[in-house]
A and B are shown apart, each in its own frame.
Chain A
Amino acid sequence: AQRVTQPEKLLSVFKGAPVELKCNYSYSGSPELFWYVQYSRQRLQLLLRHISRESIKGFTADLNKGETSFHLKKPFAQEEDSAMYYCALRPFYNQGGKLIFGQGTELSVKP
């Protein structure tokens, strides 16, 4: 079965510290992976996708097919990074374009 697992419900770090939000997936084919973010009182929005290989707001994520992981990293966390982060998977041959989301990790960056 296709599944996305985010093992940490809450991650708390101090400003300036490195942050890594973990995401593991189970899928036998080649998935497309995403990170979505939901800031307080804002709608869920795309942060980055593995295909584009870009860095957004200092965040990067590398798809590791061997470990079936897509961890989100930032070297120096900022207070404005505090939000709910969701990892999501879209199976390559998916018919409906639907995304399968993980449980979410709440990131709290303390001053």
Chain B
Amino acid sequence: NAGVTQTPKFQVLKTGQSMTLQCAQDMNHNSMYWYRQDPGMGLRLIYYSASEGTTDKGEVPNGYNVSRLNKREFSLRLESAAPSQTSVYFCASSPTAGAGELFFGEGSRLTVL
């Protein structure tokens, strides 16, 4: 019972490098989300996809892009990483945009030097 799977779990980048965080869910959920978690800031929404084919900005979208590849997969791309993007990233999914419970992945810890 995998639920929400994120890869990689850990990554170290140099400033200016690019990378993509992958997220996949096997629960047939319609909605998917990317959050970042920083000490003292809680979880902040980066981007979300209410349904396949749609994506929208969240609270802190700058420096990120997303792709809803299909119903299962929602990737987050950093085109030119900056030290301010050092964080733990969480992918989540929910059955529909109106369903309150989010199911989270284990997180991806990214360090940008």
Contacts and interface: CB of A to CB of B under 8 A. Distances in A.
Nearest to A93: B98
Interface residues of B, number: 28
B74 interface: no
Given A44-B90, A104-B42, A99 B105 contact: no
B94 to A, nearest CB: 5
Interface in B70-106: 90, 92, 94, 96-102, 104-106
Interface string A50-88: 010000000000000000000000000000000000100
A97 interface: yes
A49 B101 contact: yes
B50 A96 contact: yes
B35 to A, nearest CB: 8
Q: How large is the interface on A (under 10, 10 to 19, 20 to 34, 35 or more residues)?
A: 20 to 34
Contacts of B56: 95-96
A97 B90 contact: no
A26 interface: no
A51 B100 CA distance: 10
Judged by DSSP, the binding face of A is loop
Which of B4, B50, B100 gathers most chain A CB within 10 Å? B100
B100 A43 contact: no
B61 interface: no
Contacts of B96: 97
A9 interface: yes
Nearest to B96: A97
Nearest to B58: A98
B39 to A, nearest CB: 9
Contacts of B41: 103
A43 B107 contact: yes
A34 B43 CA distance: 14
Which 3 residue pairs spanning A and B have beta carbons closest together? Answer: A97-B97, A101-B43, A103-B42
Interface of A: 4, 6, 9, 32, 34, 36, 43-46, 49, 51, 86, 90, 94-104
